[in-house]
Chains A and B, each alone.
Chain A
Amino acid sequence: MSSRRDFLLKSFSASAAAWLAANWPAEVAAAEMAQKMGGFTYFTPGQAREIDAMAAQIYPTTDTPGAREAQVIYFIDLALVTFAADKQAVYAKGFGELAQACDGKSFASLPSDEQIKVLTSIEKTAFFKTVRDHTVMGMFSSPQHGGNFHKVGWQQIGFDDSLNFRAPFGAYDKA
């Protein structure tokens, strides 16, 4: 059984999984359903696991949500068949580079400190830079594009998308 819960929740720390399930039970259920209905658009489940693990190191879960909680992997999956379709070749080549850097092992299966070593060794490659930029975009673009789930990215940087404000705006222009 390879449900989204398997994919999603197994990759999380126990506390993050509990936090997700407690705060967004409906969304987690909906995502599971989406996964059952078709899974990823571009990635194979195996590829998604690798990119998801990379994204989770690029923008890690700390005391605040990271790329996993923002569901950046779904943003990237959608990006590669839409505005970033021209980057498919970079990913296709990158999976080979990643496997080589991991001595043929699955990147996602490595312990965290080894993952960081692997990424540091490839951080100058076009593949890593592209995944890094896509991860950042997935954190901070509108949720309609698949990432920034529940605006967790925007909340961290204090960005309010109301698009409608009245002065004073900040701490220094208050009278």
Chain B
Amino acid sequence: MKKYQPSEEVDFVVIGSGAGGAVMAKQLAQAGFSVVVMEQGPWGAYGHEQDYNKDELINRFPSEEDMLMTNPAKQPNTFRRTASEKAVPGHHSYGCVVGGGTVTYGASSWRHLPWEFQEASLFGTMAGTGIADWPITYDEIEPFYTQAEWEIGISGPNVKSKNLAPMSRGYPMEPLPLKSSGALFQVAAKKLDLEVVPNVAAIITKPWNGRAACINCGMCSGYGCQVKARSSSAVALLPYAVATGNCEIRAHSYVREISTDASGKATGVVYFEKQNGNREVFQKAKCVVLSANGTETPRLLLLSKSARFPQGLANSSGIVGKYLMTGNGGGASGLFSDPLNEYKGCVTGAAILDYVPNDVKGRGWYGGGRMTARGFTMPIAYGLGGVHGAPSWGAGYKQALIQQANRKLYIANFISQMPLATNAVDLDPDVKDAWGLPAMRITTQSHENDMKGVNFFIEKSVEVLKAAGAHTVWADAARDSTGGAHARGTCRMGNDPKSSVVNKYHRAHDVPNLFIVDGSSMVTGGRNHPTMTISALAFRAAEHLVKAAKSGNVTI
């Protein structure tokens, strides 16, 4: 792998190696630019993926070097519902390894639908919310969805439906197996006249670019993939960036500041070398690409405040960190007579699409969601908390545990959430991380409209489970979001610098050579599956940036 000296001014520093950063690094390096990728997490099993752990106990209690997610002991965050509360310790976590969240994610890879880019124009806004059109249309991003799906390796059904985005080219390979949960969805769909499709996933179902097809091991979400079938950034993108000889990946490199000069241009980044006594290093760069995820990206901008940028970098609008959408969920579990064996195969099964569109008149609330089939959790998780309607120990517990094992179908819904200015990421005034930096503070409370949506989906899940033949059904309690890996919206894109952080090409309105490319760019949240849209946005941003940089002016 190419190595650069920190004193050497590289063309681009990319902060973060997940869904957004890896696309940027690859596209920029392949165009001939020098690139350094800063990743705060470890290497994981990058390049020796067969060594990824498949032991549930070790996964629950990983040693520091084996962690694939953030370490709560060193990277604490705090949480509160509203600005009037004092924040308490939070449980927000996200991928923290070379490849970011894509190393362990469930890999659902749905496109946003065309109308999800223009919800304000098409459906109107709602007072007190930040519903707005994106500055780009579906037609503008469609070619980049296609590029992303073919380059990264996405499996999915090639069906036409009003509830699926139209595609200029189909998925490159067949979808994952339907599973018993999908077959039960079909039973329910027949009775209730619903549309069921297999999951769209960044998991390959045939050999693809030197990677093996999924072996349905089942230890999927939360685990690294030993056979490289999950099309994570670490196997589908970063190796191609490195192969150009132009890109260096620096793991264990925790960026604490994007530095700027007197003219307000970014000059590089200051980072801690975690494995070198946390030595502070300044990496010089002509341009900075920030792809640290929907919560770390605004935090780093706020940490990078200076005399010239007293509210934080790229924050003259005051909205960096605001309009946070972590997405809502909830559903129901149903018990069936025969084993589903849902622990085999990818965690996410088939989807019911009928509740994706808005139907304000019909349902009395704004938004929608995707209903997905899930089943068995892994054995320890199941034993600790997966048994319904039984004591927590003793003979009754054991009997229920054995009776319910493998016979349950869980419906998880991925539900829209309104962008609200009051839901935000900022810096906690008291809590510091292990490097002495202010911890991330998350403030989030869903609009009452969204809780109507959650309740709607819980009721619909019960209906579907009963129609599928479940003899016992347990509805989840409606619960508002507290964070999670789908964080979006915190540096929204737009044409007006007063109401957005980046322009339609992801360039910060306030900093001419800073590009912000991750879930933070999203204006509205879609139906809570952000990754495919992050990938497509990044391919689109990269194409423009390569053109601009080659012309010698990145501000065009």
Give A contacts to B, CB under 8 Å: 57-60, 62, 64, 66, 83-84, 116, 119, 123, 132-133, 135-137, 139-142, 144-145, 153-154, 156-160, 163-173
Contact = CB atoms under 8 A, between A and B. Distances in A.
A136 B383 contact: yes
B133 to A, nearest CB: 42
Contact of B384 (A60, A84, A116, A137): A137
Given A136-B380, A142-B56, A173-B179, A58 B393 contact: yes
Contact of B406 (A60, A153, A157): A157
Given A83-B61, A165-B216, A165-B344, A157 B379 contact: yes
Contacts of B398: 59-60, 62, 66
A141 B379 CA distance: 7
Most chain A C-beta atoms within 10 Å of own C-beta, residue among B61, B379, B394: B379
A95 to B, nearest CB: 19
A169 B384 CA distance: 24
Contact of B217 (A59, A156, A163, A172): A163
A83 B58 CA distance: 9
A57 B396 CA distance: 11
Contact of A165 (B178, B181, B345, B394): B345
26 contacts: A59-B393, A60-B395, A60-B398, A62-B398, A83-B61, A84-B61, A139-B383, A140-B383, A141-B55, A141-B380, A142-B57, A145-B57, A153-B379, A157-B401, A157-B402, A163-B217, A165-B216, A167-B179, A169-B179, A169-B340, A169-B342, A170-B179, A171-B340, A172-B336, A173-B180, A173-B183
B85 interface: no
Given A60-B398, A172-B336, A159 B180 contact: no
Interface string B338-352: 111111110000000
Given A116-B394, A145-B57, A164-B216, A169 B180 contact: yes
A140 B380 contact: yes
B180 A154 contact: no
A158 B383 contact: no
B384 A136 contact: yes
B254 to A, nearest CB: 25
Contact of A171 (B55, B177, B338, B379): B338
Nearest to A139: B383
A142 to B, nearest CB: 5
B19 interface: no
Nearest to A129: B392
Contact of B219 (A58, A66, A163): A163
Contacts of B54: 163
Majority secondary structure of chain A interface residues (helix, strand, loop or mixed) = loop
Interface of B: 54-57, 61, 177-184, 187, 215-219, 336, 338-345, 379-380, 382-384, 392-395, 397-399, 401-402, 405-406
Contacts of B182: 173
Contact of B183 (A64, A137, A139, A172): A172
B394 A60 contact: yes
Nearest to B409: A172
B339 A158 contact: yes
A98 to B, nearest CB: 15
Given A172-B184, A172-B187, 4 more contacts: A116-B394, A142-B55, A164-B217, A172-B336
A162 B290 CA distance: 41
B56 A165 contact: no
Contacts, number: 131
A170 B395 contact: no
Contact of B180 (A66, A84, A139, A168): A168
Nearest to B399: A62
Contacts of A156: 401-402, 405
A116 to B, nearest CB: 7
A66 B402 CA distance: 12
B460 to A, nearest CB: 20
Most chain B C-beta atoms within 10 Å of own C-beta, residue among A58, A66, A158, A160: A158
Contacts of A169: 177, 179-180, 216, 340-342, 344-345
B188 to A, nearest CB: 11
Nearest to A132: B393
A171 B394 contact: no
A144 B338 contact: no
A57 B382 CA distance: 19
A72 B402 CA distance: 18
Contact of B216 (A57, A133, A158, A167): A167
Contacts of B379: 140-141, 153-154, 157, 159
Contacts of A57: 393-394
A104 to B, nearest CB: 24
B393 A123 contact: yes
Given A136-B383, A141-B57, A144-B55, A158 B405 contact: yes
A155 B375 CA distance: 18
Contacts of A157: 379, 382-383, 401-402, 405-406
A2 B401 CA distance: 35
Most chain B C-beta atoms within 10 Å of own C-beta, residue among A58, A66, A135, A137: A137
A105 to B, nearest CB: 21
A85 B296 CA distance: 31
B221 to A, nearest CB: 15
A163 B218 CA distance: 7
B156 to A, nearest CB: 16
The 5 A-B residue pairs with the shortest CB-CB distance in the complex, in nearest-first order: A170-B180, A171-B338, A167-B177, A157-B405, A83-B61
Nearest to B338: A171
A161 to B, nearest CB: 9
A43 B541 CA distance: 59
Contacts of A123: 392-393
Nearest to A131: B393
Contacts of A168: 177, 180
B180 A171 contact: yes
A25 B342 CA distance: 35
A169 B184 CA distance: 13
A173 to B, nearest CB: 4
Contact of A141 (B56, B216, B219): B56
A137 B339 contact: no
A172 B215 contact: no
A133 B385 CA distance: 10
Contacts of B344: 160, 165, 169-170
